[in-house]
Structure 1
């Protein structure tokens, strides 16, 4: 919901840093895999009870996730890079609630529900992208991407805001997890309605 609105604000500084990194020989894929390693380390830190470190590593992951796209725009995007980027994103997204679920037994069920909701939103997102590409549809609402990005209520910005809230207020994990899982479910319904409108006929 907020991703497209934030792009005009975050893209210019990311692009400046991306040009410098590309000039230094840094590749987008290197940033993607480094970011993934940091994100998974953040989830592991949360699982071990080091939530402050988890928060710092989550923020680092998101920074590198923005920079890999900025470098790709300079060096030229690739289909393989787009594949690695989305796989790394979803691996990171499911790892954070998993970390909270391991950290405290009371978090296990809501963490499982949240991971399941991420799977559903991911399936709806990727299925929409595949069919939109098959029909030759394009959008630049989220900037230039390797494939079609459909808009939804629960997107990257909202997910990171919830993760940060979970780290700052770990005692609120259960209501935050259930609440965001509900928003993800609404996103699937919203995207399905969009599919009906876009793919009928």
Structure 2
């Protein structure tokens, strides 16, 4: 919901850093892999009750996720890079609710529900992208991407805001998880309505 609105503020500094890193032969795929490792370490930290460390590693993961795209734009995006980027994103996203399920058995059901909703949201996102690509649809609302990014109520910014809230207020995880799961379901419904309108003919 907020991703496209934040792009004009976030992209210019990231692009400057991305050009500098690309000039030093640092590849986007290497940064994607490193960012995924950092994000998964954040999940491990949360699973062990180290919430502030988890928060710091989540923030680092998101910074690296922005940098890999900036490097790709500077050096030339590739299909393989686009594939690795989206797989790394979803691997990171599902790891956080799973980590909260590990740290406290009382979180298990909410963790399972949120993880399932992430899978559903990701499926709708990728399915829309496949059909949009088939129809040669294009959008620059989310910047230059390897494939079509459809807009939704729950996007990257909203996900990170909820993750931050969960790590700062871990006792409220169950409430936050169900609230975000509901937002994910609403996003799937919204995207399905958009698909029904866009792909009707």
TM bucket, shorter chain: over 0.9
Residues 153-187 of structure 1 deviation map (CA, whole Å, 9 limit, x = unaligned): 00000000000000011111000000000000000
1:86 counterpart residue number = 86
Instruction: Measure the CA separation in 2 of the matches of 1:148 and 1:20.
Output: 27
1:197 counterpart residue number = 197
Secondary structure (helix, strand or coil) at the match of 1:38 reads: helix
1:13 counterpart residue number = 13
1:146 counterpart residue number = 146
1:132: how far off? 0.4
2:188 counterpart residue number = 188
1:47: how far off? 0.2
Instruction: Measure the CA separation in 2 of the matches of 1:118 and 1:28.
Output: 25
Structure 2: any 5+ residue segments left out of the alignment?
A: none
Residues 59-101 of structure 1 deviation map (CA, whole Å, 9 limit, x = unaligned): 0000000000000000000000000000000000000001010
Q: Counterparts in 2 of 1:98-137, with a 5 A limit? A: 98-137=98-137
Indicate yes or no: 2:168 matched with 1:175: no
| Root-mean-square deviation over aligned CA pairs | 0.4
1:61 counterpart residue number = 61
1:71 counterpart residue number = 71
1:48 counterpart residue number = 48
Secondary structure (helix, strand or coil) at the match of 2:143 reads: coil
User: 4+ residue runs of structure 1 moved beyond 6 angstroms?
Assistant: none
Residues 15-63 of structure 1 deviation map (CA, whole Å, 9 limit, x = unaligned): 1111111111100000000000000000000001111110010000000
TM-score, L = length of structure 2: 0.99
Alignment length (residue pairs): 201
1:27 counterpart residue number = 27
